[in-house]
Chain A
């Protein structure tokens, strides 16, 4: 691969996307000794911010927006990272090494990092465009939701995954009547085992949340908001006039069993879609994400990608999509190294977490394909871990209020050390002793 750093070109390294991964690429370029220009383009109007607290502490009103900022403008300027917000990329011309920007200008690049993230998977239902129906992904999404939440009484959450459940916990704690509608037979079914799902359904119900499982949503029932002013022939969206395209508001959510769940606020969390459109249009290989190797490289030596927008090709040929902070950060480091002509593979075990009420769920490893589940600790006490095994080998651990198990688990998995199922089940057995 060409030593881009040695080219001495005036063209900048350009990073498309100013989220956690984009920022990591920019800072790792500097940390790696790159002295040339670094330009980071962001569609959102904000400097890079921490996204995980959006559905947690921030939504609960425990922080102000500025506290989410990862790096402020001054800190970026000191590192000569040129942040341009409110600008989108319309197209990539890889032959000319040039971007067409939404403001009509063009920008040549020496190297290009795609850190475009992912977008909320929209609800494919009638009525989904109502003014009080929201996905939850960005700071602006959360501001809109928080504003509605103040006066909301009946909150319906569509999707019992991390985002939906974290939001449900916040709404329940604020005294709202909350209903969670989940199509699968258990919560977070895509990522956790039945004992963990069972713990969380119980946790939410104890906080007064109605959880409907195996419940398929068929329609958002649209009507007029109270005080919409229709009687006067004037169409407002609602008290503050910000309704959907027709000023319509959801009054409930209908499910396939014919029931209607009343709602004055609907939040859905049914997954995300990687933003790989630019890469697709530029002829880069994509498959539900920009395909990269474990060093963040695409087939084009001038183009790398990292974070939520990627699908990583594993050694066995499979593609792995991760949506996590760790992935954004670690792939970002790899991608920056690749732009500088170095190999820095990201191979650590994936980890994730979710905060709901006082339960902290921390996950490490990937449990897909497990054939045995071992519970360590007592779910009734609200602290336990679930160990996932395949053919007697540890794949993953989910820990609820057991950060020690989680952190030990990261080391075990990273080093390929597998406690026996019997050791995992014995809460007296000291797991870190296996690391000595």
Chain B
């Protein structure tokens, strides 16, 4: 299990044990974290699982693929340098303790 902290738009922080190999979107949604919609189920087709990755962790993530970058250009909330799509981040041991913030709006 990989412990990931999700900070909901209202400021509430939830720590979720995400099984290795799952995406952050899957871990957050199945546990009922507010602020991630993930409508497309993880196909990188809807841009509704936008999250802000804590700067300290950013460089530990594989870079966003072209498709993710294109979808990030169209997120509803402000796009920041640390914007990622939670469906494209797979939980692995190196991410234990990762902290991500969720934007005010996804759609």
In the complex, A326 Cα to B67 Cα: how many Å?
A: 20
The stretch among A66-74, A146-154, A248-256 that forms the contact with chain B is A66-74
The answer on a CB contact under 8 Å between B32 and A71 is yes
The answer on a CB contact under 8 Å between A353 and B40 is yes
Number of interface residues of B (CB under 8 A): 24
Smallest Cβ distance from A42 to chain B, in angstroms?
Answer: 16
Known contacts A71-B30, A75-B32: A407-B71 contact under CB 8 Å = yes
The answer on a CB contact under 8 Å between B71 and A56 is no
| Interface flag for A132 (CB, 8 Å) | no
The stretch among B3-11, B41-49, B96-104 that forms the contact with chain A is B41-49
**Candidate in B19, B26, B30, B73 with the most chain A CB atoms within 10 angstroms:** B30
Known contacts A360-B67, A403-B71, A404-B73: A56-B43 contact under CB 8 Å = yes
Interface residues on A, range: 20 to 34
In the complex, A79 Cα to B47 Cα: how many Å?
A: 25
Known contacts A67-B22, A325-B40, A362-B45: A403-B30 contact under CB 8 Å = no
Known contacts A72-B32, A404-B73: A57-B42 contact under CB 8 Å = yes
> Interface digits, B70-100 against A, CB 8 Å rule (1 contact, 0 not)?
1101100000000000000000000000000
Smallest Cβ distance from B24 to chain A, in angstroms?
Answer: 12
Smallest Cβ distance from B27 to chain A, in angstroms?
Answer: 9
Q: Which residues of B contact A67 (CB under 8 A)?
A: 22-23, 26, 30, 42
Residue in contact with A52 in the complex, picked from B26, B30, B43, B73, CB distance below 8 Å: B43
In the complex, A360 Cα to B43 Cα: how many Å?
A: 9
| Interface flag for B105 (CB, 8 Å) | no
**Candidate in B19, B22, B23, B40 with the most chain A CB atoms within 10 angstroms:** B40
Q: Which residue of B lies closest to A405 (CB)?
A: B70
> Interface digits, A204-224 against B, CB 8 Å rule (1 contact, 0 not)?
000000000000000000000
The answer on a CB contact under 8 Å between B40 and A69 is no
Known contacts A66-B30, A70-B29, A74-B32: A407-B39 contact under CB 8 Å = no
| Interface flag for A97 (CB, 8 Å) | no
Q: Which residue of B lies closest to A407 (CB)?
A: B74
The answer on a CB contact under 8 Å between B70 and A53 is no
Q: Which residues of A contact B39 (CB under 8 A)?
A: 325-326, 329
Q: Which of A318-347 contact B (CB under 8 A)?
A: 325-326, 329
Residue in contact with A325 in the complex, picked from B23, B41, B44, B73, CB distance below 8 Å: B41
Smallest Cβ distance from A224 to chain B, in angstroms?
Answer: 39
A-B CB contact pairs (8 Å), 11 listed:
A53-B41, A70-B30, A71-B30, A71-B32, A75-B32, A76-B32, A325-B46, A355-B43, A360-B44, A401-B67, A403-B45
8 A-B pairs closest in CB distance: A75-B32, A50-B41, A407-B74, A403-B70, A353-B45, A69-B30, A72-B30, A52-B41
